[in-house]
Structure 1
Amino acid sequence: MILYGSTFSPFVRKAVAVAGEKGIGLEVKAVGIGDPDPAFREASPFGKMPALADGDYRLADSSAIVHYWEAKFPEPALIPADPEARGRVVWFDEFADTLLVGCAGKMFFNRVVAPRFLKRDGDLALADAAERDELPPLLDYLERVIPEGGWLVGDGLTLADVAVASPLVNLGHAGVEIDPARYPRVTDFAERMHARPSFAPTIARERGFLAR
């Protein structure tokens, strides 16, 4: 089973972490956005990542891939069967993929991707504005809803936790330090999630690359 993409993308990192939690054997083939690689474009016609090749089956989009895996590999379950719990998990996945990634992306792209990968200046004013104005309300929300020492939905790990934890990595790559005094639950949640075997090796590789 091949996953196309770069784990610097929070969407690809989310999929890799889900595969790790489920024990799914996965080969990650590095491609960039819009990469012309024919096998990648067969799975992702519009060049978005991640994309999946599972035998003859092709699929793009991290949430679609995760739901496919949940049906194919139901244990351990990361999407609850209970209607209310499932609704909450889908909400947090959407929150992470849109609001949190959208905000973090302005910092990560302009402070890291543009200068390091595209060899051009990023819009640092846009990145600073996102950190100053957009990020605090998102972290305030998470601080309210994360149970102390617990999980976002129910009493065990779900897709909600993985989805929210992934873009928090990009904040760190972009030089954002979450204040543990103001956001103790967010800080503890991020530390617990990022230390899991499904996240830790990926994060270490990314940090090592950026430190070069």
Structure 2
Amino acid sequence: MKTPICKPNDVKIFVLHLIHQINRPMSYVELNEIVEVTEHVKYIDFADAFYTMVEEGLIAHVGKGLDGDELFFITQKGLFVGDGLKSEFREAMLRESTTAAHRYLKFSKDSGLTCDCEIHRLEVDKSYTVEFRIFNRDKEVVHASINTESEEQARQMTKNIYANPDVVLIGMTALMSGDVNYIWGTQDPKKKATNPISAEKI
């Protein structure tokens, strides 16, 4: 486990920061999963902090998800408290934890990602363009196209996009932001082979 966060107030501030950065309502289970993936907070400490934050009005129930789970989100009071005290933590630790949480959500098969692909043949040079969109539930998060000389390659691209929209999204995010660590989740590129995602999928 990484540097543990055990003090009740520290756990609350850490969790509030993650909720603020994820910026969408989450269920208790989903929130616990992203906290666990940071490897800083134990489950029992998170559970205690969660119910305390609800009682103190730092997070609030905001409705139910499609699966019927209760959803919670940070309140204005929670934003104020979290922003005022996050300086207690090292900026690098907060940034690394936020990246880990985003990476987990994007790779989760339950994240709600769907896609739509089309292949267009260009008469001018007989090449092919793959146009694709990726949606996170009802929100379009990617709309892009890529040109290739081969129809076979275009069809293979389409096949991979349909099969792995999460991998495509996180790969594009990492490469376009210049943060390849976002893919591998490590500062050491030599460790990337331990990641279950192969380079050929991206």
TM-score range, shorter chain: under 0.3
Q: Between Structure 1 and Structure 2, which shows a larger proportion of strand residues?
A: 2
Instruction: Tell me the TM-score normalized by structure 1.
Output: 0.25
Question: Greater CA radius of gyration, 1 or 2?
Answer: 2
Q: Between Structure 1 and Structure 2, which shows a larger proportion of helix residues?
A: 1
Structure with more contact order per residue of length (Cα contacts < 8 Å, sep ≥ 6): 1
Instruction: Tell me the TM-score normalized by structure 2.
Output: 0.26
